[in-house]
Structure 1
Amino acid sequence: MPSPTTSPDGTSDYKPMRRKLPVEQHMHISEVPMTWSNWHEHMNWFNITLGLLVPLLGLVSTFYVPLMTKTGLFAVFYYFNTGLGITAGYHRLWSHRSYQASFVLRLYLAAFGAGSVQGSARWWSREHRVHHRYTDTEKDPYSVRKGLMYSHMGWILTKQNPKKRGRTDISDLDQDPIIVWQHRHYYKIAIFMGFVLPISICGLGWHDWMGGIVYAGILRMFFFQQAHWLGEQPFDSKQSPRDHFITALITLGEGYHNFHHEFPSDYRNAIEWYQYDPTKWAIAGWKRIGLASHLQQFPRNEIEKGRVQQLQKKVDQKRSELDWGIPVSKLPVYEWQDYMQAVNSGQLLLAITGMVYDITDFTDKHPGGRALICSWIGKDATAVFHGGIYDHSNAAHNLLSGMRIAVLRGGGEVEIMKTKQPTECCAQPPGPHSTGVQ
């Protein structure tokens, strides 16, 4: 018989009831605390290489590769085309369906969008829809709640747990043959449109192969990636990112994200004539030549309502920082007799518009003089305060709010509430035909 194998407990008949697996094998690496021994497992090395190391090599190369004018102009031209692939294609067409595009236009946007090397249109649009649906929550793939650095670049440079990512419907994307084709062949298309084509144009066109690699290829791609990440992220705790002109300038109009998050299906990101949104202009131009249709716009009335509500929030926030006196809901309720009793005890009180005010510290500061204001102590001064003698300013109303001490039941001096009327006054006097018999 074969000799028994010695078990961990030193016996030969040891049989564990259940085989224990390391905790890490049950968990996604993103759930395991990062340490010096496992930090490299948290990294998405493909994205790090493409998004950091290659661009760093490109930046260093600028010291050795001169920038030719033709190459620089072409890099800007190609930047706009690949940028529109993202902003007009990935973002406004496929993520938000803000307009409809012809087959030719969709093919152009899918090809040049891949040239910006930000992932396939299917992947990008799915992530962006999740971002809008779960903004600032754990299911947001680039939530700002995880830190500013994470929301800008960390989410793309580290491995993400797919089970924790929010889900969204992309059935419409799976029915688009161009999206399916681009997603299936993304890496080939990205390499060709992102590097082979621009480098070949610079090399074959004016013999600037190295300039094509550095400026039209690497730096052009890197610049738009950084600009787009900057323009995409929310900056406050609510679901309303800030508008930013500089971001709009380098992301072809994507910087007006406060408007975009409020009205995501609008094909525009900027609605004012002075705001820079070349993506909007391009889509409108494509409509003119028949390449785009069904451009979605929110009614101007709804947009203005949103603007007014935002202004109201700011006003309310500022208002909450000021002293407006004791809230009316927290004031005691006085009967008219309570008011008169307080005045008779020596308090300097005024009744105005259903409120009782203590003017003790104000009588000597009254612009009309002490005698005038004191002549109305213990009375209802509503009429004289509101124009009977002088129609007081808004500042006077605000100053008065800090002096209120009570609410008057009935709203003011009500004769029937002041004293109880004798029952005899209501009896009919005996007439000439009265018998006098009770």
Structure 2
Amino acid sequence: MSWNGIEEMYEPITHLKPVTPRKYEIVYKNIITFAYAHAAALYGLYLCFTSAMWSTIFFNYVLLVLAGLGVTVGAHRLWSHRAFKARTPLQIILMVMNSIAFQDSAITWIRNHRMHHKYTDTDADPHTTRRGYFFAHVGWLLVRKHPEVLKQGKSLDMSDVHANPVLRFQKKYAIPFMGSICFLVPTIIPIYFWGETLNTAWHLVMLRYVFAVNNSLMVNSVAHNFGSRPYDKSISSTQNVFTSFATLGEGFHNYHHVYPWDYRSAELGNNWLNFTTLFIDFFAWVGWAYDLKTVPVEVAKARALRTGDGTDEWAIDNKVKDDN
């Protein structure tokens, strides 16, 4: 389908200066919270090999996948980029799944992500990789936002998101609702239904939560540092197969930064590594997802020839020849 009008939404800003040296203002509360969460997750990993029931491990794995899709399908492709449209039942399902992930409210996540696309590799990019791998991965969450992020963020168009009643509900009841779905209920269920201990149930929840958070953060760090740049060699985002596998299809990041409105977030869909696209395709078949926006393969190939680094990992050239 056509993407008329969508490409202007996140047209990268080029007039801002590249990143400049800054003095970080550390948020100690966040450091303590992240330190505890990761320590608890390591203990949870230990319990997986010593005392945890298989049912508890499998239960948290299912929640891990649901949480991941809540981010990739909901917060990312649907609400951040409007790459497709979803009927209310699907939006509610995605909001609940996104709440299991608890990566702040979807509205806050969307704002950060739109800023990242519009101001990539500048001071207004919340997690610019120009400040190093650690900053792009988690450091940006441990310090105060750069003044340029706050300044440019005031002019960011978020009207569509704030007009969404499903997202407004999540934002209004973020702490009790998301906290319950992410932490409380997943701890109680194994205890009540199959007799897991409180200690094990809680620490496997923390393992699942920390694993999901780091999976998402890999797109900011790994997929901006390691891999090829077949569509635009001048930007930091890359194609990274490992990240795609870990994040349910979000590692085709060089393509995504060039064509952020493509609902597949990847050339040709690459569905064998792109579970997020398969999920959207299923609900398109059901009728709850519609207006799926894509980029014609010949357009992507032309861009690759014009600005890419010369790699053709997914045989785009052969696909163009076959179609012709």
1:349-390 deviation digits (Å, cap 9, x = unpaired): xxxxxxxxxxxxxxxxxxxxxxxxxxxxxxxxxxxxxxxxxx
1:235-293 deviation digits (Å, cap 9, x = unpaired): 38832511111111111111110111111001112325464010000001011112111
Q: Which runs of 5+ in 1 are unaligned?
A: 1-30, 35-41, 316-438
Q: TM-score, normalised by structure 2?
A: 0.79
5 Å-filtered alignment, 1:41-120, equals 42-63=25-46, 66-120=51-105
For 1:187, the equivalent position in structure 2 comes to: 175
Q: Which amino acid aligns with 2:109?
A: W
The CA deviation at 1:127 is 0.7
Change (3 A) 1:147 1:111: same
For 2:282, the equivalent position in structure 1 comes to: 285
- Contact preservation (8 Å) 1:240, 1:261: no
5 Å-filtered alignment, 1:204-215, equals 204-208=192-196, 209-215=198-204
For 1:259, the equivalent position in structure 2 comes to: 255
Identity between Structure 1 and Structure 2 (%): 28
Q: Say what the alpha-carbon RMSD is for the aligned residues.
A: 2.2
Alpha-carbon separation, structure 2, partners of 1:220 and 1:273: 26
5 Å-filtered alignment, 1:409-424, equals none
The CA deviation at 1:108 is 1.6
Q: TM-score, normalised by structure 1?
A: 0.59
- Contact preservation (8 Å) 2:95, 2:167: yes
Alpha-carbon separation, structure 2, partners of 1:145 and 1:108: 36
Q: Which is higher, the Rg of structure 1 or of structure 2?
A: 1
Q: Which amino acid aligns with 2:253?
A: H
Query: Aligned residue pairs: how many?
Result: 276
Q: 1:137 aligns with which of 122, 125, 148?
A: 122
Change (3 A) 1:97 1:135: same
Q: 1:235 aligns with which of 225, 228, 237?
A: 225
Alpha-carbon separation, structure 2, partners of 1:267 and 1:154: 29
Q: Which amino acid aligns with 1:147?
A: G
Alpha-carbon separation, structure 2, partners of 1:280 and 1:272: 7
Alpha-carbon separation, structure 2, partners of 1:91 and 1:108: 15
Q: 2:306 aligns with which of 303, 309, 315?
A: 309
The CA deviation at 1:91 is 0.5
Q: Which amino acid aligns with 1:246?
A: F
Q: Which runs of 5+ in 2 are unaligned?
A: 1-20, 227-232, 312-324
The CA deviation at 1:123 is 0.6
Change (3 A) 1:33 1:242: closer
Alpha-carbon separation, structure 2, partners of 1:33 and 1:260: 31
The CA deviation at 1:308 is 2.2
Alpha-carbon separation, structure 1, partners of 2:81 and 2:149: 23
